[in-house]
Copies of this chain bind each other. A is one copy, B any other.
Amino acid sequence: MFSPLIKELMESLRCLPGVGPKSAQKMALYLLERDSQGADRLANALRDALDKVGRCATCRTLTEDTECSICLDQARDGTRLCIVETPADVIAMENAGSFDGRYFVLLGHLSPIDGIGPEELGLDRLENLVRNTDVEEVIIATNSTIEGEATSHYISELLKPLNIELSRLAQGVPMGGELEYVDGNTLALALKGRKKL
């Protein structure tokens, strides 16, 4: 009952994560009925980002500049490098506020089934970066998932010969976590990694 262009707008809105047919319909009608200015701004922002955003030449995070603001920041500690899966993970680490080194962003994790191997994650570039700069410690902060663990394992094997300090984020009971609600795998890891008091 909608015209083709309105239908196409509804369908294309469904590429957004978490947007089903109902919300897509609501969004499309809202934009057309009440916020054509917002829709115009969004169309421009999408076009600009698609045309200009690429990857930081050093850490591979998303940016329209040659190098991202963290890589350009001379005040950051260049001896420590934290490896994360995505730009959102960089934000999470920055918000935690206890790391002032640099990052390397994989933009994914190893997933042979999807054709994502070491090359797609830029691991050759990572190796060169660690080899040719003053990095002394690499902290692997990939997700605590099967894929994140496999990626972590691969990277640690790759970097071991370079004679640097290698570490992985600690796993265990989250802060404020009540044992009753912590899943079994996490508890097992927390037990295995228990610390002497």
Residues A23-47 near B (CB distance < 8 A): 23, 25-33, 35-36, 38-47
Residue A175 CB within 8 A of the other chain: no
Interface size (A, Cβ < 8 Å)? 57
Question: How many copies altogether?
Answer: 2
Residue A86 CB within 8 A of the other chain: yes
Cβ contact of A17, chosen from B30, B32, B70, B88, cutoff 8 A: B30
Contacts of A128 in B (CB 8 A): none
Given contacts A49-B6, A49-B9, A50-B40, contact A69 B33 (CB under 8 A): no
Point out residues on A near B: beta carbons under 8 Å. Answer: 1-6, 8-9, 11-13, 15-18, 23, 25-33, 35-36, 38-50, 52-53, 62-65, 68-70, 86-88, 90-91, 94, 107-108
Pairs of residues from A and B, 7 with the lowest C-beta to C-beta distance, nearest first: A15-B38, A43-B46, A12-B45, A3-B63, A12-B42, A9-B45, A12-B41
